[in-house]
Amino acid sequence: MCRSSAERLALCLLLLLCGASAAAAGQLGALLSPGPLSKAHRSLEGAKCAQCHEAGRKVSATRCLTCHTPVAERIAARKGVHRQVTECVSCHVEHAGVDGDLRHLDTARFNHATEAGYALDGTHARLARQCASCHTGRSYLDARPACATCHADPHKGALGATCTACHSTAAAFRDARTHFDHATARFPLTGAHQRTTCEQCHKGGVFRGVAFASCTACHTEPHEGRFSASCTSCHTTATWRTQTVQHAKTAFPLKGAHVQVACAKCHAGTAMTAPVRYGSCAACHVNVHRESITGDCATCHTETSFRNGTFDHATQARFPLEGKHTALACVKCHTTVSADNTVPLARRTADFSGARTECASCHADVDPHKGAFGRACDACHRTATFAAKDFRHPQAPDFFAGEHRAVTCEKCHVPDRALQPARAALPSFACGTCHTDPHLGQLSQTCETCHRVDAGKFAAAAFSHARTQLPLTGRHETTGCEKCHPRETRAFPSRTGTAVRYRPTEATCVTCHTDPHLGQVDQRCETCHTATSFKVGAAYRHTDLDDFFQGFHGRYTCRDCHKPERRHYPAGDGLAVRFNVGRACASCHPQF
């Protein structure tokens, strides 16, 4: 489109020659044209310049919009990319050649939602860079957002033109069943209907006109017309089984296990409204007890499970079920067993007549004593474990505690003693009956004087040295027993062997301690020493020397006069503190 002075001159000449012939005008237009028009405007080549150019003016937007009416409409509506356009030639330049591009569109930056008013989302998103997939004509404004513009309608117009009522771009159109919200339809799907495939109701792809006013439109009526057509009075869509029948309003409310029973179990072969016997359990249940119990079943059973009943065995049968008896099924004790014992426990007939309470009536084949201790098993055994470990001897409970608790019965009640005639003769409680004497006769057989059964390994927890000839005081209290009572191998009162020596044991100091004075003093060590520290105490006083240690001599300590000397002593030669010093002054003061 011309913009230079030469172009304006050419336009003037064109107007001057307006009276010339059409052919001459076409030739003149071709001479004055700055270049060929694009394919879209090829029909305007020659003398049709005035179609776009106004006299003395540039290309007018008004002339362009006269032909391009869709663009004019969008400009007037202020929509799309032309919503603020005033001059067409600012973007669309002509006379650039036959193949010149008049439409400059950057598809990478073009926002289809904002500029075209139609968002490309979901499965349409991949078409954002493939404009020709939808815009098959030259103009981008010819395309319409209706689905039928690009997609064939498989419903043949039966569901209208608003495809978005069922379909969305989030999934392929063939997968609309997984996204369609049936709640927007006239028949919302609930319960088991939600798991029904579309084809089960919409046969042949028919989506309109499907009958749904009554359940029998899809479901076969199993009651053979004995009830009204309103199935929802008893059933719900949750499972299509009977759910809402208010049996509590009938003469027989359903409780416990009866709630789970199918209707046909009781209402069999008759109309549902026909009377059903319910006055006694026997109307529906077989009496598995036969003639042993003929009374009301509710005495023992409840509707909760028909198994674990409310029968109080302690008061009604005078035999409390305790320990392992608690978990036993009734037929374990109350049963009629076939001769070959091949009938499964669950199918045996529970016979409650003639049951006995003696242990041997059920445990006759497991008596390990072979009847030697009679039939009163509960004298030793309990139902908690049936083991005799819970038995406590009533005659001497303390004796059978502690270390004796873990001793098995057979340790004392050996087979020879377990014979029936010898039951009254209990084993002796004397320790020597079961235990050998570890002291080999040095001490008495009254073991409980020192040992206790509740002490680990029968330790001498009851022994006290205060009861002996030498009560332990001072440093003797912390001295180990083996210091005075060593383990020796020699002849003992009962026999020769190895044992701790307890007797004979002297109570004198020299029995355990050597004489550090080498015979200078007698062996009555307690005259000067005590067991507290074995040192001469500060309270010691020289016999008959009170006058000597008065005054000047009173400040001296023992070692000032009694000093260690190596010499001959009464017990032999050696180094010891010399005690025999004498009262003469020269004994300590040689200068005198």
Neighbours of 94 (CB within 10 A): 22
E-strand ranges in 544-589 read 564-569, 572-577
At residue 501 the predicted structure's pLDDT band, cuts being 50, 70 and 90, is very high
Is the pLDDT confidence value at 568 over 50? yes
Query: Is the bond preceding residue 564 a cis peptide, omega within 30 degrees?
Result: no
More confident residue, 25 or 278: 278
Distance CA 33, CA 11 (A): 10
Is the pLDDT confidence value at 583 over 70? yes
Looking at residue 499, its pLDDT comes to 95
**Could you report the per-residue pLDDT of 134-192, keeping only the tens digit for each?**
888 777 777 888 888 888 888 888 888 888 878 888 888 777 777 788 888 888 988 88
Distance CA 121, CA 164 (A): 13
| CA-to-CA separations, 455 to 146, 170, 377, 400, 443, in angstroms, rounded | 99, 83, 32, 13, 20
User: Are the beta carbons of 38 and 100 closer than 8 angstroms?
Assistant: yes
Strands 487-491 and 496-500: antiparallel
Structure tokens at 391: 């038995």
Mean pLDDT value across residues 374-400: 77
Q: What helix, strand, coil percent values describe the chain, rounded to 5?
A: 35, 5, 60
Mean pLDDT value across residues 368-386: 76
Distance CA 271, CA 267 (A): 7
More confident residue, 449 or 15: 449
Three-class secondary structure assignment of 238-296: CCCCECCCCHHHCCCCCCHHHHHCCHHHHCCCCCCCCCCCCCCHHHCCCCCCHHHCCCC
Mean pLDDT value across residues 271-297: 77
Is the pLDDT confidence value at 291 over 60? yes
Nearest 10 degrees: Cα torsion 122, 124, 130, 132: -170
Segments making up each domain of the chain, as ranges: 5-104, 149-180, 365-429
Q: Report CA 533 to chain centroid distance, whole Å.
A: 66
- Worst-scoring range by mean pLDDT, 181-195, 326-340, 570-584? 326-340
Is the pLDDT confidence value at 560 over 60? yes
Mean pLDDT value across residues 45-72: 82
Burial class (CB in 10 A: 0-12, 13-18, 19+), 88: buried
More confident residue, 230 or 481: 481
User: Are the beta carbons of 466 and 455 closer than 8 angstroms?
Assistant: no
Looking at residue 500, its pLDDT comes to 94
Looking at residue 576, its pLDDT comes to 92
**Could you report the per-residue pLDDT of 513-541, keeping only the tens digit for each?**
889 999 998 888 888 888 888 888 767 77
Looking at residue 3, its pLDDT comes to 44
Mean pLDDT value across residues 343-353: 64
Distance CA 443, CA 230 (A): 102
Mean pLDDT value across residues 275-302: 79
- Worst-scoring range by mean pLDDT, 74-78, 126-130, 272-276, 546-550? 272-276
Is the pLDDT confidence value at 364 over 60? yes
User: Are the beta carbons of 336 and 275 closer than 8 angstroms?
Assistant: no
Angle at 390 between CA 389 and CA 396, to 5 degrees: 95
In 3D space, the residue among 361, 356, 359, 338 whose CA is nearest the CA of residue 348 turns out to be: 338
Is this prediction's pTM over 0.85?
no
Mean pLDDT value across residues 227-251: 77
Looking at residue 27, its pLDDT comes to 57
Distance CA 580, CA 577 (A): 9
**Could you report the per-residue pLDDT of 11-27, keeping only the tens digit for each?**
444 444 444 444 555 55
Mean pLDDT value across residues 343-366: 71
At residue 555 the predicted structure's pLDDT band, cuts being 50, 70 and 90, is confident
| Mean predicted lDDT score pLDDT of the chain | 79
Mean pLDDT value across residues 330-339: 67
Distance CA 550, CA 557 (A): 13
Structure tokens at 347: 């199918």
Is the pLDDT confidence value at 4 over 70? no
Mean pLDDT value across residues 237-252: 78
Looking at residue 156, its pLDDT comes to 80
Question: 55 pairs with which residues across the strands?
Answer: none
Share of the chain above pLDDT 90, in %: 9
Share of the chain above pLDDT 70, in %: 86
At residue 348 the predicted structure's pLDDT band, cuts being 50, 70 and 90, is low
Structure tokens at 175: 């997968």
Distance CA 14, CA 171 (A): 61
Looking at residue 518, its pLDDT comes to 92
Looking at residue 347, its pLDDT comes to 59
Looking at residue 573, its pLDDT comes to 94
